Amino acid sequence: MIGLDIAKNVFQAHGVDALGRVVFRKKIARRKLIEFFVTQPSCLVALEACGGAHHWGREIRKLGHTVRLIPPAYVKPFVKRQKNDAADAEAICEAAQRPYMRFVAVKDEAQQASSVVFRARDLLVRQRTQCVNALRGHLAEYGCIAPKGMTHVETLIAFVKDRTNALPNGARLMLEVLIRSLASLKENIAVLDAEIVRRAKEDPVARRLTTVPGVGPITAAAIAALAPQAESFKRGRDFAAWLGLTPLQRSTGGKTRLGATSKMGERTIRRLLIIGASAVVRQACRRSAASSPWLNRMLARKPRMLVTVAAANKTARKSGRS
């Protein structure tokens, strides 16, 4: 077995035999990594599931080796004393030998390419929010106040474009730059949304997921692109727990203590599921007679946000079974 600590330029390899005895500790330059593994007999290669791990996992697997990716949080307990590359590689090797260790499936290039569109969309949405907040904050200094939300941005834009008000020209020029940036971001987000919808229609898994209430094309495509293979989970509840939609446990001494939502999984999917669940809960509040009895009972005795997260958990369980 070889534990490999990857980096930008210099990698650290830690090799052990079948009995766990150290065979070598070696630093390897990036350009010589493939050459090194070509000379090694077929073995188990363990890496941390960090940036670039899936790329190196695919390349090393092509050479006939078995690749296992381990979440960094599961490697940290095996690091002895000092933190350095050699200690990290040894810890990776030690963690991979545990019989009940959880591994991350190596993603292929197509799956990683599908996830890029969601990362790019999240970046543009955050930039759009920044532009709107900056526009609202600057105009508040000149007496223009608008409620929060994208639906009220047009009020701010109309105030900037109105040449009859007392807004100074120096401020108006700068705010028009923000407005143009906002328009460009909206256009690019629309392009990405159309691409996500197109991919969701072409993917049979995404089409099946859209039949679940609260799951639209964007959420379905995100689950298909960002979530591990369904075979990685024994049941739908495990998928909900992986997403971080379950309570955080602080139990001891036979006493069960449950805290807030753990938020330990893929935050993009979790956020989309909660947004979809909020729409389901909002419809249930408007049409209580037509909604599910479970939602009616929950809304009668629990806060609305708690019910929303519970509905997202239920949606995740259904999606995991799909």
Average pLDDT along the chain: 90
Q: Which residue has the tokens 């020029």?
A: 173
* Residue 218 clears pLDDT 80, i.e. is over it: yes
Residue 50 exposed, middle or buried by CB count within 10 Å (0-12, 13-18, 19+): middle
Indicate the length of the chain as a whole number: 322
Gap between the terminal Cα atoms of the chain: 36
* Residue 281 clears pLDDT 60, i.e. is over it: yes
Res 173: pLDDT: 93
CA–CA dist 243, 227 (Å, integer)? 9
* Residue 277 clears pLDDT 90, i.e. is over it: yes
Tens-digit pLDDT profile for residues 150-180: 888 999 999 999 988 889 999 999 999 999 9
What is the average per-residue pLDDT within 183-193?
Answer: 95
* Residue 236 clears pLDDT 90, i.e. is over it: no
Q: What are the φ and ψ backbone dihedral angles of 105, each rounded to 5 degrees?
A: -70, 140
Res 322: pLDDT: 64
CA–CA dist 272, 225 (Å, integer)? 13
Tens-digit pLDDT profile for residues 39-81: 999 999 999 999 999 999 999 999 999 999 999 999 999 998 8
At the fourth CATH level, the homologous superfamily of domain 2-96 is YqgF/RNase H-like domain (3.30.420.140)
* Residue 288 clears pLDDT 70, i.e. is over it: no
CA–CA dist 117, 115 (Å, integer)? 5
Q: How confident is the model at residue 293 (pLDDT cuts 50, 70, 90)?
A: confident
Q: Are 226 and 118 in contact (CB under 8 A)?
A: yes
Return the structure tokens found at 322.
């799909």
Amino acid in position 311: A
CA–CA dist 62, 51 (Å, integer)? 19
What is the average per-residue pLDDT within 260-281?
Answer: 89
Q: Are 93 and 46 in contact (CB under 8 A)?
A: yes
CA–CA dist 322, 39 (Å, integer)? 43
Res 290: pLDDT: 52
SS3 40: coil
* Helical residues (DSSP H) of 53-168, grouped into ranges: 53-62, 72-75, 85-96, 109-140, 153-161
In the chain, the largest separation of any two C-alpha atoms, in whole Å, equals 83
**What residues contact 285, with CB distance under 8 A and at least 6 apart?**
299, 304
CA torsion 297→299→305→309, rounded to 10°? 20
DSSP string, 74-96: HHGGG--SS-SHHHHHHHHHHHH
Res 88: pLDDT: 95
Asked whether the whole model's pTM tops 0.75, one would answer yes
- The residues spanned by each domain of the chain are 2-96, 109-202, 217-321
Q: How confident is the model at residue 289 (pLDDT cuts 50, 70, 90)?
A: low
